[in-house]
Amino acid sequence: MRLRIGVALAVVGIAAVALLAGPLSRGDRLSDILTGRTPLLAGGTRAPGGGANLTGTADLGTDQRPATLYLACDPGGTGLSAALTVPRFAELAPRFDFAGLEGSGSATPLTGILVSSAGSVRSMRMPVQGAATGADSGFTLTVTGARRGEDPLRGLAVALTQPGTKLTWTQASPRSGDPALTAVFTVAESDAAALKGALTGCLAAPF
């Protein structure tokens, strides 16, 4: 009887190793496999991705205007990302160096994100990538989480699935002497539900 159990366990172990070998050899994380972000079999279905918007305000000195924060989950690619769009950015260019943030960006963490919710405060500093989408459409500033290991944006995303959470994005200019751009967003109940549905595929904690 013990021999049969031992043989059965050995067979299960070999099967598990065989199933994991494919995705692990491609560089996928074990946590991504176990949480469904990465399929075991080639051609399998990954955890769903998605995105949702928050609306708020952006301030630069005495100037205040509407702003949009788009949070996205791409389980099989970039993971979590957050993109702040400031409209009519050309009007602010004399006081803030948007051009210096265009392209792939630098490793300098010019973006500060503070998230406060009931009994919890999270803050982080990250490098940012900027892209102009037209003077009328705006300028988009994007931060992305880590594809390997603990994603600094995961805690932020989890907090944003709770109504009443407040996010403050402070963007430093790469040009010395410029004031910082500050954007503030507050999560309504409808926002929380939309974010939870859109980001679920990226919210599982890594192992």
Residue 203 Rama label (left phi>0; alpha psi -120 to 50; beta): alpha
160 and 81 assigned to the same domain: yes
pLDDT of residue 173: 96
pLDDT of residue 133: 85
94 and 175 assigned to the same domain: yes
Digit-by-digit pLDDT tens for the chain (207 residues) are: 556 655 445 544 454 444 444 544 555 544 444 444 445 455 555 556 799 999 999 999 999 999 999 999 998 777 899 999 999 999 999 999 999 999 866 688 999 999 998 888 999 999 999 999 865 779 999 999 865 556 789 988 999 999 999 999 999 999 999 999 999 999 999 999 999 999 998 887 554
- 195 lies in a domain? yes
- 89 lies in a domain? yes
69 and 12 assigned to the same domain: no
8 and 59 assigned to the same domain: no
Judged on CB neighbours under 10 Å (0-12, 13-18, 19+), 155 is middle
- 207 lies in a domain? no
CA distance 174 to 106: 10
- 142 lies in a domain? yes
- 65 lies in a domain? yes
116 and 59 assigned to the same domain: yes
85 and 186 assigned to the same domain: yes
CA distance 76 to 40: 13
Residues with Cβ < 8 Å from 88, sequence gap 6 or more? 65, 135, 136, 138
55 and 128 assigned to the same domain: yes
- 42 lies in a domain? no
Residues with Cβ < 8 Å from 44, sequence gap 6 or more? none
User: Which residue in 158, 198, 170 sits closest to 67, CA to CA?
Assistant: 170
Indicate the DSSP class of residue 1: -
pLDDT of residue 106: 67
- 41 lies in a domain? no
CA dihedral 27, 126, 207, 25 (to 10 degrees): 0
- 40 lies in a domain? no
72 and 158 assigned to the same domain: yes
30 and 74 assigned to the same domain: no
pLDDT of residue 118: 83
Crossing angle of the two packed helices 189-199 and 152-160, in degrees rounded to 10: 140
How many structural domains is the chain composed of? Answer: 2
74 and 11 assigned to the same domain: no
pLDDT of residue 61: 94
79 and 178 assigned to the same domain: yes
104 and 131 assigned to the same domain: yes
**Domain limits for position 115:** 50-202
